[in-house]
Chain A
């Protein structure tokens, strides 16, 4: 069984916090820990920011987000139809930024990789970029529930 959620927003930096909140709300049905949700929020924030400031150069455009849940596995796709990336491997190197003129750290992809289980980037120069973030939420929640239930019994 597969559950999905799709969202389209304008390329506008005010939508970054909106998107990460919506994605977190969608995945919260899996009962993730606060930390797991924060990890997803940070990674999504990085990808949406990149679509807006790099893909569309802070100009107009559409960013699409598609979330999928299969069992305990989640995937979040962030797509833009902007300038695209010529050298994905180089773009993903820690501290690399294509815009040293802006106040960038070049840590966006590193954060995505640190916080997610998988990061997949497909890009074509002149056509756009698709970033697919994968994360499995292990069933720690069940363990906590059991612990809480048995603690309740003892009281």
Chain B
């Protein structure tokens, strides 16, 4: 099972690849990677990539909200991509799309 998170710079975006399960166990590592990447790459446009993610609960929402606070402080933006139907439902229920829009890249 893939539990590691990683990031990559693609054009003007910094893309953070999320693990298969975004929960209380994986979120500390995602937060760590995201902060490290913001420090090294700046924080203009951050993209969270859910292509490998099959499960997410409210721990993931808490992790995203924490990133939103950090990124907006630096006047950056966050986008979400690759969500499957289930993850998308969780994101919709949380209302997070109003602050982090979905993009197709």
Contact = CB atoms under 8 A, between A and B. Distances in A.
Contacts of B36: none
A68 interface: no
B25 A41 contact: no
Instruction: Across the A-B interface, give the 7 residue pairs with the lowest CB-CB distance, nearest first.
Output: A105-B62, A105-B61, A103-B66, A13-B25, A107-B58, A103-B62, A49-B24
Contact of A114 (B23, B24, B93): B93
A16 B24 contact: yes
Interface residues of B, number: 19
Nearest to A111: B58
B21 A107 contact: no
A42 B24 contact: no
A59 B57 CA distance: 21
A145 B66 CA distance: 45
Contacts of A102: 62
B24 A107 contact: no
A29 interface: no
Q: Is the interface of B mostly helix, strand, loop or mixed?
A: helix
A31 interface: no
Q: Is the interface of A mostly helix, strand, loop or mixed?
A: helix
B31 interface: yes
A90 interface: no
B6 interface: no
B84 to A, nearest CB: 10
Nearest to B20: A17
B25 A111 contact: no
B93 A17 contact: no
Given A13-B23, A106-B62, 4 more contacts: A46-B58, A52-B24, A104-B62, A107-B94
A108 interface: yes
A6 to B, nearest CB: 23
Given A103-B66, A104-B62, A14 B31 contact: no
Contacts of A38: 55, 86
Interface in A80-126: 102-108, 110-111, 114
A129 interface: no
A66 B63 CA distance: 29
B9 interface: no
Contacts of A41: 55
